[in-house]
Structure 1
Amino acid sequence: MPERDYEQDTTIGAGTLRIRARGRAVLSNPMTNRGTAFTAEQRKALDIDGLVPTGFTTLENQTRRVYEQFRNTGTMLGKFLTLNALRDRNEVLFYYLLTGHLEEMLPVIYTPTIGEAIERFSHTYNRPRGVFLSIDQPELVERSLLNYGLGPDDVDLVCVTDSEGILGIGDQGIGGIQIAIGKLSVYTAAAGIHPRRVIPVVLDVGTDNLGLLSNEMYLGERHSRVRGERYDEFVELFVRTVEQQFPNAMIHWEDVGTGNAHRILNRYRDEVCTFNDDIQGTAAVVLAALLAAVDVTGHDLDEHRIVVFGAGSAGIGIANLVRDTMLRTGAAETEREAYERFWAIGLQGLYVDDDATLLDFQKPYARAREDVAGWELERRGHIGLMDVVRHVKPTILIGTSTKGGAFSREVVEEMHRHSPRPIIFPLSNPTSRAEATPADLLEWTDGQALIATGSPFAPVDHGGVRHTIAQSNNALIFPGLGLGVAACRARVVTEGMIAAASQALAGLVNAWRPGAPLLPGIGDLRLVSATVAIAVAQEAAAEGVADAPLSDPIQQVYERMWQPRYPDIEAI
């Protein structure tokens, strides 16, 4: 059933659904279908008498039924496919189920299960969802986006990936569309962005994954990944087409490769409403946890010495936002003074200014060679993590390296010798790649470590205190950011707006209580998203980048959040 066969105001939480279609066409569209929940009057008006069982079922009872089906599915991939099939059948029911069990189902519709779904995309492909843009057919970009059926004022978010840096599994070609779909599902469940105001997109520029290229089932372009000028021209065509067709949409970049992510963000951030979750979203949620932890230590942010271990896109993104926060608050008077608080470590060890392998976005964090000339090193010619910890005496240690166990007992105990309340964030996913476990960190610091992790960990009992471990999950930031941008019609996403999101998130916790987490839990995502959205919209207005500043932020944000409930129906 085409989109024109129904009408609904998707900018409000509970708009009337006006249906022009009749008969089986009503049941074939996931936004108009409600199955056995159609009343007798609605069945008659829409010509679906006899097309569904005669019994009437409430949304709540439907949810009980599909939740039982979900629980009875044996594998995580099976659960993912079960939820996918439900969304293709009845979108309201899907989101009502998801919002009611968000903490349980987030790992299914997003990380870690979505990684397997992406790898299996060409084998499990069923109903198309999203827009597939090929670098070999640039002339179809405009037409393809228009074919999605949404008008200039109907789109809040376009989530796009080129699939080169998918989670921890790398280049996944056309299967990356699933990461965009999953991300937008979280926007809807957590922040109430209407599911018909978003577009998932994959830029199919080829793949360097030989397993995909040699698989006869693979559905993407069968050539190596295109790079350089032709890639940049394709990205430019995509951005300008979105800007023209959907002038109010924020472009959300997801899992773009390290070599392109910072470059694309820097290219467009000042002229297009754009956001990179791997860089800015990760940084924002980590900054929130840092602000909460720093408050506990009693020392201002600029007094801390920060080591970033695994300083790629995510690690440098975190450092950049913390640096900008220091400058914005006046904690650091100059940019150079702010940079001096950081020590960045990569595969070749500590970043130093004579390292020719550093990328442009990493170079500002390189230390002068003379600064480390007198250091005694564990291994000649290599300045490793232990060397940095021993000489720098950091108070904050951030891990984005994917090197499981890198924060060893020796490293942590050395850090704790000079830092009574060490702030240690092993952020790498999945759990097997975490730089340390919370249980070990608490044991090695006698319960004093302030911890946030990338993967979920169970509470840890130590010294008679139960420590609830904060998960630095981007879902605590990006849904609310997108909602705030949409609500106030922000023209760009500024660093001030991202910092405001972090501060709002940090304000929702009381980290002073023994064992308290540094961040809210996933179960509070609707509250978190609304709070973040208000802060983002207010900051956008203060910076003069909001085309529709909010006069009553709480009410307007609340009214903007779509509720997964069956709306009133009008047959037209």
Structure 2
Amino acid sequence: MTTGFQPNEFEFASDDKGEFVKVMARGYQVLASPGINQGSAFSLETREALGLDGLLPSGVTTLEGQLKRVYGQYQAQPDALSKYLYLNATHDRNEVLYFALLTAHIEEMMPIVYTPTIGQAIQEYSHWYQRPRGVFLSIDDPGTMERSLKAMGDRPDDVDLIVVTDSEGILGIGDQGVGGVAITVGKLALYTAAAGIHPHRVMPVVLDTGTDNLELLNDDTYLGVRHARVRGKQYDDFIERFVTTAHRLYPHAMIHWEDFGAANATRILDKYRNDYCTFNDDIQGTAAVVAAAVMAAVKASGTPLAEQRIVIHGAGSAGIGIASLLRRVMVEEGMDADEARRHFWGLGSRGLLREGLTLRDFQGPWARPSADLKGWKLDTRGHYELADVVRNVRPTILIGSSAQAGAFTEDLVREMAEYCERPIIMPLSNPTRKAEAVPSDLIEWTDGRALIATGSPFEPVTHKGTSYRIAQANNALVFPGIGLGAIASGATRISEGMVAAASTALASTVDVHAKGAALLPRMSSLRSISARVALSVVEAAQNQDLATVKLGHNPVQAIYESMWKPRYPRVIPA
């Protein structure tokens, strides 16, 4: 099986002995190609065959020895951004070594290659920029799109996954222009480290449609196009050109949308989801991991999901995605669809979603009828804010995706704890400084009764002798497995049933009965979790007639064998 081709340099393939690489390059060209460079691990025989004599120290090192060296260098870096840049440099030098390092220390390094450090890296992209990685597509020159995508050197069957962003809604920090390419690279690194998606079968893409970030536009070093964001028909035509061109060139690739703005994310997903294999992690991935945490919390609380009252503070594309998936779970458990919808109250920038407000199309179905609000006690007449909703609804589940730091106040949480034995509270906003509350406060205010999941990582909290491990509702727990399942099954599209299957599989991996137990598993077990999620996704795709590949009589073995492992391949000089 061919797994990528770089003209005149190397070609990867596999046989019954495993992966091998035919190397046409010689000398420094080999060492300059991160996809084939093994550095000091090249054997003496291979060095001679590839013209590397004299270009490396005499000693031959194993991959394990290299890992020990680079991990020590990583730990010596003075701060998080320096560690990010060190990992980037390793990636640019030796791809297998980079992924071996990341896989071996995934829990420690995820906050570096992903949230929260990636946010700082994106903001400063034009300042630390060194070696380009990804495809840059400019709205000012759409005619070069096909040529730009082909410049990666991939053939139609060589690409399994494309992660694409327009950088408008980056990780709670908003419009970051062309720097958003770093989030696509980071996401793909996790697809590889967590789910074994082959690093030569993926493509990071940034759609440079301008930026409304005046700080970037006035920065002499900024690398993107220098004008305000293009919107309207020209933007939509650009998106359409990208989808159709990418699908025509790489017909089997899943398209993963990342960090699009609220005005575009849901409508782009809705437009293409039924015709292409496409997935929005901010909507569907967030929904899946949060729904899994909710299902685990509901199990721990002893109160069925059908009896929960759910308030979502921050009912944008991600918040509504969470509501939609939880509603689907309720329906699958036997509840009427309309009745299930009545268990949700969403708040946007102007308070409770309700009749009479101007709402986005995807928010409309979740607006509360005026009749539901009769008799409500309000702090200010005509205003339905979070405190009003909590007072009148008496929610048992409170989810925050608002990016409003401290929105879950002590008074609000204590009020919730008065009528709810096990309040489920999830301040999900990133980065940490925008979280609606911090776990230590939530545990103190509820005397250790709150069931908590957060968006950012937090250290365990000790309260009255019990250590509470805080679940991080990190999308990395689901999106790699969804991608692996879609690729392994040859799925023609990503259905809500496949996303729900991923969520249920994740929820099944935790035991929530021990006091202080987290609602979600640790990141250190990410690779096995991704495999379990992938198996459930494959099964759902098959049940819905969306799979084009059969995994045979032993799907567990098939998934395991399909996961690329960061090991040096056999080298065949050509």
Give the TM bin, normalised by the shorter chain. Answer: over 0.9
Q: Deviations over 1:101-144 (max 9, x none)?
A: 11111111111111111111112111111000011111111111
**Offset, 1:8:** 1.3
Distance 1:553 1:329 in 2: 27
**Offset, 1:26:** 1.2
Calculate the TM-score normalised by the size of structure 2. 0.97
The more displaced of 65-74 and 223-232 is 65-74
Q: Deviations over 1:196-220 (max 9, x none)?
A: 0110000011111111111121111
Aligned to 1:16, what secondary structure does the other structure show? strand
Aligned to 1:252, what secondary structure does the other structure show? strand
**Offset, 1:11:** 11
Calculate the TM-score normalised by the size of structure 1. 0.97
Alignment match of 1:315 (pick from 305, 315, 319): 319
Aligned to 1:18: 22
Aligned to 1:238: 242
Distance 2:433 2:219 in 1: 28
The more displaced of 523-532 and 75-84 is 75-84
Aligned to 2:556: 554
The more displaced of 387-396 and 250-259 is 387-396
Distance 1:263 1:89 in 2: 39
Distance 1:19 1:453 in 2: 46
On the 8 A contact 2:122/2:176 being kept in 1, the answer is yes
**Offset, 1:327:** 2.1
Aligned to 1:375: 376
**Offset, 1:3:** 4.4
On the 8 A contact 1:453/1:469 being kept in 2, the answer is yes
The more displaced of 468-477 and 409-418 is 409-418
On the 8 A contact 1:10/1:196 being kept in 2, the answer is no
Aligned to 2:409: 408
On the 8 A contact 1:537/1:549 being kept in 2, the answer is no
Distance 1:440 1:111 in 2: 22
Aligned to 2:180: 176
Aligned to 1:333: 336
**Offset, 1:298:** 2.2
Aligned to 2:572: 570
**Offset, 1:463:** 3.0
Distance 1:449 1:502 in 2: 22
Would the alpha carbon gap of residues 12 and 88 (structure 1) be closer, same or farther in structure 2, given more than 3 Å must change?
A: farther
Aligned to 2:40: 36
Distance 1:123 1:315 in 2: 33
Aligned to 1:418: 419
Aligned to 1:530: 531
Q: Deviations over 1:443-490 (max 9, x none)?
A: 222211111111111111223321111110000000111111111110
Alignment match of 2:263 (pick from 259, 263, 267): 259
Partner amino acid for 2:572? E
Answering whether residue 169 of structure 2 is matched by residue 165 of structure 1, we say yes
**Offset, 1:75:** 2.2
Partner amino acid for 2:135? V
Distance 2:374 2:566 in 1: 61
Distance 1:540 1:515 in 2: 36
The more displaced of 117-126 and 189-198 is 117-126
On the 8 A contact 2:172/2:429 being kept in 1, the answer is no
On the 8 A contact 1:476/1:525 being kept in 2, the answer is yes
On the 8 A contact 1:73/1:79 being kept in 2, the answer is yes
Distance 1:317 1:12 in 2: 43
Alignment match of 1:129 (pick from 108, 126, 133): 133
Partner amino acid for 1:421? R
**Offset, 1:373:** 2.8
Partner amino acid for 1:496? G
**Offset, 1:9:** 2.7
Runs of 4+ displaced beyond 3 Å: 1-4, 10-14
Distance 1:366 1:212 in 2: 37
On the 8 A contact 2:289/2:473 being kept in 1, the answer is yes
**Offset, 1:322:** 0.7
Distance 2:182 2:496 in 1: 28
The more displaced of 453-462 and 296-305 is 296-305
Partner amino acid for 1:192? G
Distance 1:65 1:218 in 2: 35
Partner amino acid for 2:503? S
Partner amino acid for 1:200? P
Answering whether residue 210 of structure 2 is matched by residue 206 of structure 1, we say yes
Would the alpha carbon gap of residues 136 and 152 (structure 1) be closer, same or farther in structure 2, given more than 3 Å must change?
A: same
Partner amino acid for 1:474? N
Alignment match of 1:294 (pick from 295, 298, 301): 298
Distance 1:10 1:89 in 2: 23
Partner amino acid for 1:563? K
Distance 2:461 2:220 in 1: 47
Would the alpha carbon gap of residues 536 and 424 (structure 1) be closer, same or farther in structure 2, given more than 3 Å must change?
A: same
Aligned to 1:343: 345
Aligned to 1:76: 80
Q: Deviations over 1:162-208 (max 9, x none)?
A: 01011121111111101101110111111111110110000011111
The more displaced of 315-324 and 408-417 is 408-417
Distance 2:156 2:390 in 1: 53
Alignment match of 1:90 (pick from 75, 94, 103): 94
Q: Identity rate of aligned residues, in percent?
A: 56
**Offset, 1:4:** 4.5
On the 8 A contact 2:405/2:434 being kept in 1, the answer is yes
Distance 1:73 1:457 in 2: 22
Would the alpha carbon gap of residues 217 and 205 (structure 1) be closer, same or farther in structure 2, given more than 3 Å must change?
A: same
On the 8 A contact 2:14/2:20 being kept in 1, the answer is no
Distance 1:444 1:23 in 2: 64
Aligned to 1:433: 434
Aligned to 2:467: 466
Aligned to 1:9, what secondary structure does the other structure show? strand
- Cα RMSD of the aligned pairs, angstroms, is 1.5
The more displaced of 158-167 and 369-378 is 369-378
Distance 2:454 2:103 in 1: 23
On the 8 A contact 2:92/2:131 being kept in 1, the answer is yes
Q: Deviations over 1:63-94 (max 9, x none)?
A: 11111211111122111111111111100011
Q: Deviations over 1:518-547 (max 9, x none)?
A: 100111110111111111111101110000
Unaligned runs of 5+ in 1: none
Aligned length: 569
Aligned to 2:226: 222
On the 8 A contact 2:8/2:25 being kept in 1, the answer is no
Partner amino acid for 1:105? M
